[in-house]
Structure formats: C-alpha cells, structure tokens
C-alpha cells in the first residue's frame, strides 16, 4: 500500500515537474522533502512564497548625515539626508527602519569620528544589540559594519550610540557617515 502511494506521489510530482519545466524552475525530485513539496504545491497553486518568487514588496534605503554631532547617551543616530527610500520604510526623523514584511535583510553603516575623538555605535534590532563599531582616537577614523538579519514584519532596526565616544563626524560636502539597508528576500 505504501509503495503504491509512493509511486502515485512520484507520478503526480513528475507530471507537475514536467509541466513546470516551461516555467521558472526545475523540480529536483532527488532530495525533495515534504517541506519542498509543500512549498512547490503552494507555488503551483499561486498562493505561497516559493523560493524563486519575487518579493511582494521591494524595500531599500540609504541615508547619510549632513552635519557632525555629539550624540546624547544612547541616542539613535538620525541619518537625515535620504538618498534612497523605496517603500518608505526608513524614517529620517527617528532614524529607524521598519521591516515591511518577514524576510532576510542586509544593513550597512559607516561612521567617521570627529578629530581625535572616539565614537561607539551599535546596530540594534528592536531591543537587541547586534554588532558594534568603535573607531578612535587620533585624527579622523572610520568604522563600518555589515549585517544580515532575519526580520519579522514591524521589526525595527537602527544605529544607536553606546558607552564611550559620542563624536560623530559628517558634513554636507562629504557624507562620511551613512546607514543603508535592503530586503534581500
């Protein structure tokens, strides 16, 4: 009985796989797990989010700072010059990016210190500190962070000062300090 079922399933999948070859993906039966099959069927029915399906939402932003600043203790950095804000998920008034849908996101931040000063900032995901940059001391120094985060809809991501140096440098001519991010998938 089990064998007959298996043969039936293989035949049915085979048919769908054949039918789908003209489409955008090829079925790999070899390692098909129930999850794969489930997501494939959902995709065939047009209701699910299959791997090769395009995002429903495209979200991307980049913003820089127009002036140097001494950050308040634990202050969120408001990168105020917006270069890109597709889907408007970045708010330059608060400095916070809000994820529009569940997915995997990329974030980057570069900051420059004021002359002979230190600066420490963190990338936050909601109430959770993730990674830090801590450039200092002599002259101007730069630090960069790159992070990939899996987010739920409504998760908040931002750059915030944390203990130590608070002197961030930027200006309208040079845009040394910036923050960007986008939905990968």
Q: Which residues bind ligand NAG (CB under 6 A)?
A: 28, 30-31, 81, 172-175
**Min dist. Cβ of residue 176 to ligand NAG (A):** 8
Q: Is 67 or 154 the residue whose CB approaches ligand NAG more closely? A: 67
Q: Which is nearer to ligand NAG, 26 or 73 (CB)?
A: 26
User: What is the C-alpha separation between 147 and 179, in angstroms, rounded?
Assistant: 11
H helices of the chain, in order, are 2-20, 34-44
- Structure token digits, residue 2: 């089990």
**CA 185 to chain centroid:** 9
Q: Among residues 106, 15, 124, which one has the least CA distance to residue 59?
A: 106
Q: Minimum distance from CB of 166 to ligand NAG (Å)?
A: 23
As measured in angstroms, the least distance from the Cβ of 30 to ligand NAG is 5
Looking at beta carbons only, is 18 or 137 nearer to ligand NAG?
Answer: 18
DSSP state of 35: H
Query: In the complex with ligand NAG, which residue's Cβ is closer, 81 or 118?
Result: 81
**CB nearer to ligand NAG: pick between 62 and 183:** 62
Closest distance to ligand NAG from the beta carbon of 82 (Å): 10
* CB of 58 vs ligand NAG, minimal distance in Å: 24
Buried b (16+ CB within 10 A) or exposed e, 129-138: eeeebbbbee
Of 59, 166, 39, 49, the C-alpha closest to 107 is 59
């Amino acid at each position: 009985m089990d064998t007959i079922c298996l043969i039936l399933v293989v035949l049915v999948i085979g048919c769908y796989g054949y039918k789908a070859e003209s489409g955008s993906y090829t079925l790999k039966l070899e390692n098909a797990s129930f999850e794969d099959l489930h997501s494939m069927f959902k995709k065939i029915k047009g209701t699910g989010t299959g791997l090769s399906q395009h995002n429903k939402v495209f979200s991307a932003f980049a913003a820089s700072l127009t002036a140097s600043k001494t950050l308040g203790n634990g202050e969120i950095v408001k990168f105020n010059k917006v270069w890109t804000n597709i889907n408007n998920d970045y708010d330059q008034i608060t400095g916070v990016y809000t994820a529009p849908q569940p997915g995997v996101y990329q974030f980057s931040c570069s900051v420059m210190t004021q002359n002979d000063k230190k600066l420490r900032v963190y990338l936050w995901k909601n109430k959770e500190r993730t990674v830090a940059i801590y450039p200092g001391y002599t002259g101007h120094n730069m630090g960069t962070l790159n992070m990939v985060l899996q987010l739920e809809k409504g998760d908040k991501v931002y750059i915030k000062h944390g203990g130590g140096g608070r002197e961030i440098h930027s200006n309208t001519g040079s845009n040394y300090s910036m923050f960007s991010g986008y939905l990968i998938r």
